[in-house]
Structure 1
Amino acid sequence: MDMLNPLHLRTLRVVIEQGSFVGAANRLGYTPSAVSQQMSALEQSTGRQLFSRSGRSIQPTEVALIIAEHAHEVLNSLDALMHAAAATSEMVSTTSVIGFSSLMSRIVPLILADAEWLATNHRLSVSIHDPSLAIREAAARPTTTAVLVYLMGDRGLSWPEVFEPVSLGIDRFVVVVPPQWQLDARLDDVAPLRNRHWVLHHPGSSDADLIEQTINSLALSPDGISYSDDFTATIALVAGGLGAAIVPEFVAADAGDRVATVGVPGFEMHRELVALISKRTPETCRSAFEAALRRAMRALGYEAPAESVT
């Protein structure tokens, strides 16, 4: 007996249920000829006659009824197997990443356009959260592949041991002002920035704390403060003339001439970008994402520091 074709077994059951090749064809969306050919092929595979024919009517033989009965269990098991295989494939091939908006908005388009990444057939699932929330979210979701965070100042972050930190580069900050202020590109002192309106990052995050500390250390004495939760929105507010701001260098570069970048004596601020890669993720998925991530970071001008984060 040859290996039986599951498609032929399904068709056999429908033929018996419908009582004719024509009825089975209508039910399955085949032509009657296609149904007849499948049944002939099944008879050849089993070496037994499956139908007795009298004119246009057909009757299933006892062998056909026995095969159809057992086919029910076989086909149900096959469906369960295919469903499990599809679910496993989906779990392995989906790369779930959590990160903060100013970086994710830049690297995700690059990863999605990466030829080597596309060749892996991995799907990308993205969530946007600030670092501390991102780590808590990842801890609650064991399928998370990577968490993108930043480290800055003395305010540290802790993460579960299942995540391995990989340093991605140093993200420097700059001071931006509305072009209509007409300030020099490099200031001799901070006086032109004193008693101005400033747009600060909303309190609560590590970069917001460090920005506020910097404002105080430079004795800028703002005459008013506005808050923003997103650096891209901050740029828009500065471009509109609301006030000055401290933002990541790459965000300012994207703004073009909508804002003016000024050098400020005594100002130096940066954060280290870090990817927390889950050790739970299958190696093929983990390595594919990390490679695509590094290529995206290099395209943005970032290089990993000589010493990795520990």
Structure 2
Amino acid sequence: MDPTRLRVFRAVVQSGSINGAATRLGYTPSAISQHVSALQRETGLVLVERRGRGIQPTAAGIAVAERATRVLDQLTDLEHLADDLRAGRSGVLRIGAFMSANRVWMPRVVAGVVDDFPDLRIELSLAELRGDRPVELDLDVFIAEAVRGDRDPAVADGSADGYDVEHLRTEDYLAVLPAGHPLVGRERVELNELRDADWIDNDIARGPCREILITACRARGFAPRFRVQASDYPSSFDYVAAGVGVTVVPRLGAHLLPAGVTAVPIADAEVRRRIMLRVARSARTNPAVRRATELLRAAAVLPAAAPHALA
């Protein structure tokens, strides 16, 4: 049924006449009559009947008018919801991120978004592997599969599968060393200098960040001797602080290092990871999505925390 005809018919019933509805809606009486006749054809019901020089709604007409009021109220609510969603005032913003981006970037990004859109609900999906995330994300911060050269960050820019993809940042890796380690105090270390060390594995998901590191070690003719399997970066730092071994993490992962460890940059140029952002093209015009994208770009260009030792 045409909502306009429902609205016209409701006005006829509420005002009690064709002329009253015409005055109320700014239509001509002829246009009102045409809408009522069309609605009767659509429903197959007699909605009004002649009474003298006027009309009167039938029992069926009264029932249709009452239900039409509920339907039209719901349509109005839907229109208001659409207005809010276009303006980013309500709804859900779905963001995917890997763990270190969630720890370092997402608190500031989420705080900025909720300041501007206080009625917005934000759902975060945390996973190291892109395949583990829901496909309906509005924004997704992820690690590219590999870094193959200095100019490579631009290669993955573009679009795919309904998403626009852009490069956010390429960063180096850091060796996290226990106090007293011979390499503490160096400006940089070569990956080869860690070949005989005991390592703490820090990525139980076996994601792309770990693969970049393992591939670089393999190219130098060795495999890390993992003494402990830790589930994440912060846990691996605790084992390093206890003197169990060393670990290697991307720079963003060396956040809030505990006492008793030092982070030293890895000199090898190919031991880097490329951080990418996917934005659903269907959500590009959403103000909340635009704001979150701006905040992520700003976070990505902030200087990374300098490697340091904590006593």
Same fold (TM over 0.5): yes
- The Cα of 1:198 is off from its aligned counterpart by 0.5
User: Which residue does the alignment assign to 1:230?
Assistant: 232
Change (3 A) 1:113 1:181: same
User: Which residue does the alignment assign to 2:215?
Assistant: 213
Change (3 A) 1:299 1:113: farther
1:281 corresponds to 2:283 = yes
Distance 1:133 1:99 in 2: 12
In the alignment, residue 199 of structure 1 is paired with which amino acid? I
User: Which residue does the alignment assign to 1:153?
Assistant: 147
The DSSP-based 3-state class of the residue aligned with 1:272 is strand
> How big is each residue's C-alpha offset from its partner over 1:88-142, in whole Å with a ceiling of 9 and x where there is no partner?
467653321112111122222101222x7622444322111224315x632xx2x
User: Which residue does the alignment assign to 1:176?
Assistant: 176
1:198 corresponds to 2:199 = yes
Distance 1:86 1:232 in 2: 45
Question: Which is richer in helix?
Answer: 1
**Equivalent of 2:66, from 59, 69, 72?**
72
- The Cα of 1:273 is off from its aligned counterpart by 1.0
- The Cα of 1:168 is off from its aligned counterpart by 0.9
Distance 1:76 1:298 in 2: 52
User: Which residue does the alignment assign to 2:29?
Assistant: none
Kept after mapping to 2: 8 A contact 1:131/1:148: no
Distance 2:100 2:205 in 1: 17
Distance 1:177 1:125 in 2: 36
Q: Quote the RMSD (CA, aligned, Å).
A: 4.0
Kept after mapping to 2: 8 A contact 1:252/1:259: no
User: Which residue does the alignment assign to 1:119?
Assistant: 116
What runs of 5+ residues in structure 2 fail to find an aligned partner?
A: 1-23, 25-58, 306-311
Distance 2:192 2:303 in 1: 33
What runs of 5+ residues in structure 1 fail to find an aligned partner?
A: 1-44, 46-64, 303-310
The DSSP-based 3-state class of the residue aligned with 2:295 is helix
**TM-score if structure 1 supplies the norm length?**
0.60
User: Which residue does the alignment assign to 1:103?
Assistant: 101
User: Which residue does the alignment assign to 2:5?
Assistant: none
User: Which residue does the alignment assign to 2:134?
Assistant: 137
Kept after mapping to 2: 8 A contact 1:195/1:220: no
**TM-score if structure 2 supplies the norm length?**
0.60
- The Cα of 1:274 is off from its aligned counterpart by 0.9
The DSSP-based 3-state class of the residue aligned with 2:185 is coil
Kept after mapping to 2: 8 A contact 1:194/1:219: no
- The Cα of 1:82 is off from its aligned counterpart by 4.6
- The Cα of 1:238 is off from its aligned counterpart by 2.1
User: Which residue does the alignment assign to 1:305?
Assistant: none
Identity over aligned pairs, percent: 15
Kept after mapping to 1: 8 A contact 2:178/2:246: yes
